[in-house]
Amino acid sequence: MAVIQAEPFPFPLDVAHAALIVIDMQRDFIEPGGFGASLGNDVTLLQAIVPTARRLLEGCRAAGMTVIHTRECHRPDLSDCPPAKRERGAPALRIGDPGPMGRVLIAGEPGAEIISELAPRPGETVIDKPGKGAFYATELGAILAAKGVRQLIVAGVTTEVCVQTTMREANDRGYDCVLAVDATESYFPAFKAATLAMIAAQGAIVGWTASTDAILEALR
């Protein structure tokens, strides 16, 4: 068994029963004019992790690991978007409004697509999710069970929103999760730092954290 040098202690990686899950690396969060920018965020912060996320993705692919991608998006008729989510706050554009990358956060629109650098390959699972967590109202749990997956390596955006929510959902379902600290990012550096700390605190209360290099080293 490979071992990832992780916090708060080493993580025993069982590649045959592990999956990489890349959360919401979509144009809507990473490029100007999308959902993330409409909320008032500086999206350039997120662009910085793309090369590292790609290195992690390619390393996991080369190791033969199951790869899952998620996309936060809604049906065109908004039937899976709670009014509370659409109507909260005062964003520049609301979910479903027309923007420079098509309708904001709507499945099938250019903005909802995963950025080209991290595009899914044939055979990789893509989960469209209406919530922040990837298990809520999706087939993710059933898909992981069918593949025999028990461990998740987690990357993507944003650290304290969809990534952390997914890790907490997974943790409660019995998965061991490792977050790749340099392949995840937040619009708020302080929130990212706090999230990394709270995941690993109390003896890995939510999971582990490790660098992409440490994960790739364990895969070699």
Q: Tell me if residue 129 is catalytic.
A: yes
**Segment contacting ligand TIU by CB under 6 A, of 56-64, 138-146, 155-163, 204-212:** 155-163
How distant is the alpha carbon of residue 38 from its chain centre? 20
Residue with token string 């990489």 = 20
- Residue 24 sits in the site that holds ligand TIU (CB under 6 A): yes
- Residue 187 sits in the site that holds ligand TIU (CB under 6 A): yes
- Residue 72 sits in the site that holds ligand TIU (CB under 6 A): yes
User: Of residues 162, 167, 196, 216, which one binds ligand TIU by CB under 6 A?
Assistant: 162
DSSP codes joined into one string, the chain: -EEE--BSS-EEE-GGGEEEEEE--BHHHHSTTSHHHHTT--THHHHTTHHHHHHHHHHHHHTT-EEEEEEE-B-TT-TTS-HHHHHSS--SS-TT-EEBTEETTBTTSGGGSBPGGGPPPTT-EEEEESSSSSSTTSSHHHHHHHHT--EEEEEEE-IIIIIHHHHHHHHHTT-EEEEEEEEEE-SSHHHHHHHHHHHHHHHHSS-EEE-HHHHHHHH-
* Count of residues that bind ligand TIU according to CB under 6 A: 11
Residues 30 and 157 sit within 8 Å (Cβ to Cβ)? yes
Q: Which is nearer to ligand TIU, 29 or 208 (CB)?
A: 29
User: Of residues 161, 181, 199, 219, which one binds ligand TIU by CB under 6 A?
Assistant: 161
Rounded to an integer, what distance in angstroms lies between the CA atom of residue 109 and that of residue 132?
19
Q: Which is nearer to ligand TIU, 104 or 218 (CB)?
A: 104
- Residue 183 sits in the site that holds ligand TIU (CB under 6 A): no
Q: Tell me if residue 80 is catalytic.
A: no
Residues 28 and 112 sit within 8 Å (Cβ to Cβ)? yes
**Segment contacting ligand TIU by CB under 6 A, of 59-67, 144-152, 153-161, 201-209:** 153-161
- Out of 162, 176, 177, 182, the active site residue is 162
- Out of 129, 132, 176, 182, the active site residue is 129
Write each residue from 103 to 132 as x if it is in contact with ligand TIU (CB under 6 A), else as -, in one continuous string: -----------------------------x
CB of 220 to ligand TIU, least distance (A): 30
Q: Tell me if residue 177 is catalytic.
A: no
Q: Which residues are catalytic?
A: 24, 129, 162
- Residue numbers of the site for ligand TIU (CB under 6 A)? 24, 29, 36, 39, 72, 132, 157-158, 161-162, 187
